[in-house]
Every structure is written in C-alpha cells, then in structure tokens.
C-alpha cells in the first residue's frame, strides 16, 4: 500500500451543466419535506410549488440557451439539444400538473406525493436528454421509469391502475435489462461508457464494427430505448398501461418520457454508432413502417378513446422514427419539433378527457361523446383542434411536425418511407374524425351537466391550444431553434 496521499478529485464538476435537474430535485425534496408536516389531503400548495419549480427551471434553461455547459468530466452536457428537450419535458410536466389536482380530487385520491414524483420523473428525463455517459443516461432512465411505475399504479385501490403499474414495471424492468446488457457489451468492446469516446474508438477500429459483440450491444441498447418509445414490436404494454394509468399520467407518459427516450436514443446513435449508420437506419426503417402501420390499423378498431390514443401514440412514435431514419439535420430537428408539438396536442386531448369523465368512470367510449361538441362548445372546439393536430392537418402543430420529418426523409432519399408515412396519416384521419363525428353529428345522450370547468385544467387546455396553433401557424422560429439544437 502506498502511503503518499495524493488527493484525487474530479476536476471539472461544473454544476451549471446539471442546474435544471438540480433545481427540480431541490423543489421535489423540499415538497416532500413540506408535505409531511401538513395534514394529508392538502395538495394546493404542492401544485403551486411544483409549478414554480418548473417555471424557474424553464427560465434557467432559456437563459442557458446557446451556451453549452459540460460537466462531471463529460458525463453530462447541457447543450442546445438537451435544452430543447428539457423545455419539452417542462411543458409536459407543467400541463400534467395543471390538470392533475382536479382529477386526483375527483377520484378521491389527493395525495401530495404525486407532485414530487412528477418532478423527479421530469428530472430523470432531463438526465436522459443531457447525459453523455451511458451510466448517466441509464440512471436517468431508471429515475424516470421508477417514478412512472409508481405513478401508473397510483390509484392503488383501482384494479386497472394496479394492472397498469405492474405491467409497466415488469416489462420495463425487463427492457432495462436489455439496455444494461447492451451497455455492458459496448463497454467490453470499447472500454468506455463515455458516448464520444465510444464513438471515436469504434470509428478508429473499423474491424470492430462487424464484431458480433458490437452489433449485439447496438441491438440490445436499441431494444431498451425502443421499448420506452413503444415501437412495434415492443409496444404490447402501451395500450394496457395507457388505459389503466391515471389520465394525466397517461398524458405525461405519452409526451415527456417518450421524448426523453428519443433524446438519449438519438444521442447514443449519433455519438457512439455513427460509424454503423447504414446498419441502424436500415433497422429503423423497417421498425418505423411497422410501427406506423400497426399503430394506425389497430387504432381504427378501438372504441375506448384512451386506448385509441394509446395506439395513435404508437403510430406517432413511428412518424418520429422516420426522422431518425432520415438521419439528417431536418429529420433530427423534425423529431425535436415533433416531440414538442406532440406534448402540446396530446396532453391537450387528454386534458379534455379528464374533464369529460365522472368520478370512478372515465367516460371514454365513443358513445359517451355523442353531442359533446354542442353541449360543451369550448371543450368541443379544443378537442377538435387537438384532433386536427394529431391528424396532421394545417394550420396545426402536427402538420408542421410531420411536414419537417417527411421532408427530411425525402431529402435523405427515403421517398417511399415518406409516402408510407403520408398514407398512414390518411388512415389515421378515419379514427380521429370518428371522434368528431360523435361529438358533432350525433344526438346528445346526456346533457353533460357533471362537466365542470376548473380554472387549472382550462388553463392547461388553453396553453395546449396556444402551443398547437403557434407551432402550426408560425413553426419557423421554433424550427430554427430545433436546427440549432441538433448535432
């Protein structure tokens, strides 16, 4: 044993690189501590504190735009890419929290731990987006997933919610195993977990590219993320989990965590495996087509709106994958744009669903929406806008997002992929329009007197409408930002 005590310490810690997630963590922990001293059932303060936390974090992310920070010996990077995704997560979390309080109260489960869990989940998503080390990404994924497992099973007295939590947990843990195996294999091949070092090493040793260990590692890592994104054939959990989870959590899951998985998937593929680009784009081509087709076709047969939206979210993951297959600037920035747009439009649609339900029954059948548009004009119009956006019709965010992604595919020479994508959008018109047919062209079965309009949920719907329309009418500015954000 040598006794010359050489102090070793990490040289460049640079707390600024993790500041957004650190702020969220501090708010989350503070909230946990405040909660225990207040009587159970008080949640208003939690809503406010977590919203303030999200806004402060958002301001911080905005302030740091264009000034990339690298910290912890390159384990984390707060670059534009991470910042853009962070905004998406914050939007998703903010809209979710706004609509949650009302919903939790109605279901008789006002538990204040809900809000810290959402904050921690968001912080985990941020680590995924800003991680430049496999371990950072992995632990971020775990923080996010564990939070989501709990949130999905949050209504522990409801069997559906239990089923959702358990199913998500078991399959999620399984897929995390795949991811870890992949990371281990890649570490074995390259001797590093830093994304850039892996990429440089693989690029310098081209003989390794055909090595079964490298390829197995690549595929296993991809499976881990494709599960979280819910790409066919790793989508089986989605409908059940989305249906059973509390509606605001379903909304959050479909936007925030999905974007986070896309973020780290993009970063890993682009940083580590750029030398294998032809291989993985070919793989993703097939998966993108499968995902779009399966998602859209099965969505047609659904009569439960939450399940229908679950399948449609699978289809939307397929559209976003098209951008990854394109693997060029427009394609990648299209994904960033699309994820933000999707956060607005999908969470907005779920917010309407939250208001349309009664205690204990979510009122999600198509029949239940007969004449809803007449009786509740504001909600009807809002739902129409969100559905238009999900269909991808101008002048909404969905149109602009799809436009950029398919433009990227065409530019990269994947004309057929773009054609398949557009055809799929046409298919999706059927099941989205059907909701509107029920809302406007059927005689109302009920007067929807139970539908209240609490301020917080209305605010979230208004924000979602504003976002969907802004991104649809003037997409240029945000798209420029997205272009600055990609590699």
Partner 1 sequence: MEILFFYLVAFVTLVSGLLVIRCQSPVNSALALVNTFFCLAVFYVMLHAPFMAAIQIMVYAGAIMVLILFVIMLLNLGTESRQRYTRGVVWSSIASLLMLIVATVTIKTGQVTGAEGEITAHTVKSVGHTELIGRTMFTEFLLPFEIASILLLVAIVGAVVLAKKEV
Partner 2 sequence: MSSTTGSLPTTAPILFEDYLALGIYVGIALFLVAILLLLSWGLGHRTRSRIKNEPYESGVYPTDNARLKGPVPFYLVAIFFILFDIEVIFVASWAVAYDRLGWAGFGQVSFFTLVLLVGLLHLWKTGALDWGPSAARQNRKNQDIP
Residues that bind partner 2 (CB under 8 A): 2, 4-11, 29, 32-33, 35-37, 40, 73
Please state the φ and ψ torsions of residue 9, each to the nearest 5 degrees: -150, 155
Q: How far is Cα 84 from Cα 68, in angstroms, rounded to an integer?
A: 12
| Contact partner, 209, from partner 2, partner 1, none, Cβ < 5-8 Å per class | none
149 contact choice in partner 2, partner 1, none (CB below 5 to 8 Å, kind-dependent): partner 1
Quick one: 10 or 55, whose CB is closer to partner 2?
A: 10
Pick one of partner 1, partner 2, none as the site partner of residue 448 (Cβ within 5 to 8 A by kind): none
What gap in Å lies between CA 72 and CA 65, rounded to an integer?
19
Rg (CA), the chain: 22
Closest CA to 100 of 85, 110, 88, 87: 110
Give the length of the chain: 487
The DSSP annotation for 235-287 comes to -THHHHHHHHS-HHHHHHHHHHHHHHHHHHHHHHHHHT-GGGHHHHHHHHHHH
Q: Nearest distance from residue 131's CB to partner 1, in Å? A: 8
What residue 6 binds from partner 2, partner 1, none (CB within 5 to 8 A, per partner kind)?
Answer: partner 2
156 binds, among partner 2, partner 1, none (CB under 5 to 8 A by kind): partner 1
Closer by beta carbon to partner 2, 9 or else 455: 9
Annotate 292-311 with b (16+ C-beta within 10 A) or e (fewer).
bbbbbebbeebeebbbbbbb
What is the closest distance, in whole angstroms, from the C-beta atom of residue 146 to partner 1 in the complex? 5
By a kind-dependent CB cut-off of 5 to 8 A, residue 37 interacts, out of partner 2, partner 1, none, with partner 2
In the complex with partner 1, the residue whose CB is nearer, 204 or 381, is 204
Which strand (E) or helix (H) includes residue 358?
A: none
480 C-beta neighbours (distance < 10 Å), count: 11
* Pick 30 or 444: Cβ nearer partner 1: 30
Q: Whole-angstrom Cα distance, residue 319 to residue 53?
A: 32
Task: Tell me whether residue 132 or residue 250 sits nearer to partner 2 (CB atom).
Answer: 132
Beta-bridged to residue 358, according to DSSP, are 361
Residue 103 · residue 456 · CB < 8 Å: no
Nearer to partner 1, 19 or 436 (CB): 19
Please, which residues bridge with residue 194 across strands?
A: 133
- In the complex with partner 2, which residue's Cβ is closer, 40 or 358? 40
Distance CA 230, CA 250 (A): 13
- Least separation, in Å, of the C-beta of 3 and partner 2? 10
What's the min distance (Å) between Cβ of 10 and partner 1?
5
Q: Least separation, in Å, of the C-beta of 411 and partner 1?
A: 36
H/E stretch holding 77: strand 76-78
Partner in contact with 7, chosen from partner 2, partner 1, none, beta carbon below 5 to 8 Å by kind: partner 2
Question: Whole-number minimum distance, CB 31 to partner 2, in Å?
Answer: 10
- In terms of CB distance, is 263 or 327 closer to partner 1? 263
Q: Between 33 and 204, whose beta carbon lies closer to partner 2? A: 33
Distance CA 132, CA 198 (A): 11
CB of 191 to partner 1, least distance (A): 3
- 76-78 and 69-71 as β-strands: parallel, antiparallel, unpaired? antiparallel
- CA dihedral of 467, 469, 472, 475, whole degrees rounded to 10: -50
User: Residue 133 touches which of partner 1, partner 2, none (CB < 5 to 8 A by kind)?
Assistant: partner 1
Q: How far apart are CA 463 and CA 469, in angstroms?
A: 10
What is the binding site for partner 1 (CB under 8 A)?
1-2, 8-10, 13, 18, 25, 29, 32, 40, 71-73, 75-76, 111, 113-114, 116-117, 120-121, 123-124, 127, 133, 135-136, 138-140, 142-143, 146-147, 149-150, 153-154, 156, 165, 188-192, 201, 205, 208, 211-213, 216
361 binds, among partner 2, partner 1, none (CB under 5 to 8 A by kind): none
CB of 279 to partner 1, least distance (A): 16
Q: How far is the CB of 225 from partner 2 (least distance, A)?
A: 25
Distance, in Å, from the CA atom of 484 to the CA atom of 487, rounded to the nearest integer, reads: 8
Specify the residue, 114 or 448, whose C-beta has the smaller distance to partner 1. Answer: 114
Specify the 3-state DSSP secondary structure of 6: coil
Q: Give, for 113, the enclosing helix (H) or strand (E).
A: none
CA distance 101 to 49: 13
337 binds, among partner 2, partner 1, none (CB under 5 to 8 A by kind): none
Closer of 7 and 206 to partner 2 (Cβ) = 7
């Amino acid at each position: 044993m040598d006794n010359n005590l050489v102090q070793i310490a990490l040289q460049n810690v640079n707390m600024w690189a993790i500041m957004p997630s650190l702020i969220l963590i501090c708010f989350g922990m503070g909230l946990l501590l405040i909660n225990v001293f207040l009587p159970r059932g008080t949640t208003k303060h939690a809503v406010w504190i977590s919203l303030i936390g999200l806004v402060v974090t958002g301001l911080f992310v905005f302030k740091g735009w264009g000034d990339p920070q690298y910290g912890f010996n390159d384990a984390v990077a707060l670059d534009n890419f991470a910042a853009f995704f962070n905004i998406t997560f914050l939007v998703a979390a903010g809209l979710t929290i706004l609509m949650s309080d009302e919903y939790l109260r109605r279901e008789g489960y006002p538990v204040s731990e809900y809000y810290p869990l959402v904050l921690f989940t968001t912080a985990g998503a941020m680590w995924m987006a800003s991680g430049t080390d496999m371990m950072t990404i992995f632990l971020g994924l775990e923080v996010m997933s564990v939070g989501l497992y709990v949130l999905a099973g949050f209504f522990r007295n409801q069997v559906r919610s239990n089923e959702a939590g358990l199913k998500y947990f078991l399959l999620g843990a399984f897929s995390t195993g795949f991811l870890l195996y992949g990371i281990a294999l890649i570490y074995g091949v390259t001797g590093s977990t830093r994304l850039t070092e892996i990429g440089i090493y693989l690029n310098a040793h081209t003989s390794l590219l055909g090595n079964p260990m490298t390829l197995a590692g690549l595929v296993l890592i991809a499976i881990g993320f494709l599960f979280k994104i819910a790409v066919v054939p790793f989508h089986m959990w989605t409908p059940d989990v989305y249906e059973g989870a509390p509606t605001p959590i379903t909304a959050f899951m479909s936007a925030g965590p999905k974007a986070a998985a896309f973020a780290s998937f993009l970063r890993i593929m682009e940083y580590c495996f750029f030398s294998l680009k032809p291989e993985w784009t070919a793989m993703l081509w097939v998966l993108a087509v499968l995902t779009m087709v399966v998602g859209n076709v099965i969505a047609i047969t659904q009569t439960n709106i939450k399940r229908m939206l679950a399948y449609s979210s699978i289809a939307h993951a397929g559209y976003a994958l098209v951008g990854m297959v394109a693997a060029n600037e427009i394609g990648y920035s299209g994904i960033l744009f699309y994820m933000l747009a999707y956060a607005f439009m999908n969470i907005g649609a779920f917010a309407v669903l939250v208001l349309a339900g009664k205690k204990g029954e979510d009122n999600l059948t198509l029949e239940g929406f007969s004449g809803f548009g007449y009786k509740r004009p504001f909600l009807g119009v809002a739902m129409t806008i969100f559905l238009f956006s999900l269909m991808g019709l101008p002048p909404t965010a969905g149109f602009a997002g799809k436009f950029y992604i398919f433009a990227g595919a065409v530019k990269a020479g994947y004309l057929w992929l773009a054609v398949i994508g557009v055809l799929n959008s046409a298919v999706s018109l059927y099941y989205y329009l059907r909701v509107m047919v029920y809302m406007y062209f059927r005689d109302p079965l009920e007067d929807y007197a139970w539908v209240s309009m609490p301020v917080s949920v209305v605010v979230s719907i208004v924000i979602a409408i504003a976002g969907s329309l802004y991104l649809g009418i003037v997409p240029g500015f945000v798209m420029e930002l997205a272009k600055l954000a990609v590699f």
